[in-house]
């Protein structure tokens, strides 16, 4: 019984971890609400800046256009940061703390003058 209790406690902790029980695949609709074509999209666990590979296939997403994005791979948490690379602008803006496990649609906005990123999204 003594060895069973620690195992049960560990299983209970895993099953109630919520955010830590992340997805193997994430899908959402990305709307480019910026003034620049987006050629790359990378994700990182929130606040780590450990960026993964580009998840966008060519061609770039033009301003006003939308595309379905599928990200495969295991995530340790659902809250991720998202960074884009533009075709014609050297800025690489970051949107922070997005719950990609619940994300259905996101419209990215970027003010080049101030460097401020905003987003509207549906979960």
**Under 8 Å between Cβ of 114 and 90:** no
Per-residue pLDDT of the chain (123 residues; tens, 9 = 90+): 444 434 433 333 333 344 444 568 889 999 999 999 999 999 999 999 999 999 999 999 999 999 999 988 766 788 999 999 999 888 899 999 999 888 899 999 999 889 899 999 887
Pairwise CA distance, residues 104 & 53, whole Å: 21
Residue 60 lies in a domain: yes
Residue 10 lies in a domain: no
Number of domains in the chain: 1
Instruction: Print the domain residue range for 50.
Output: 19-122
pLDDT of residue 48: 93
Residue 69 lies in a domain: yes
Look up the CATH number of the domain holding residue 117: 2.60.40.2890
Q: What is the pTM of this model?
A: 0.77
Helix (H) or strand (E) holding 5: helix 4-15
Start-to-end CA distance of the chain, whole Å, equals 43
pLDDT of residue 1: 47
Residue 105 lies in a domain: yes
Look at strands 25-32 and 105-111 and give their pairing: parallel
């Amino acid at each position: 019984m003594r060895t069973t209790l620690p195992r049960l406690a560990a299983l209970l902790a895993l099953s109630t971890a919520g955010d830590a029980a992340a997805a193997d695949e994430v899908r959402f609709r990305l709307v480019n609400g910026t003034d620049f074509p987006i050629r790359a999209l990378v994700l990182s666990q929130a606040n780590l800046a450990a960026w993964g590979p580009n998840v966008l296939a060519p061609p770039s997403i033009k301003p006003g256009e939308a595309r379905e994005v599928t990200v495969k791979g295991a995530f340790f948490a659902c809250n991720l940061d998202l960074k884009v690379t533009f075709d014609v602008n050297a800025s690489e803006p970051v949107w922070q703390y997005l719950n990609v496990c619940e994300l259905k649609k996101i419209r990215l906005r970027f003010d080049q003058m101030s460097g401020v990123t905003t987003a509207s999204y549906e979960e």
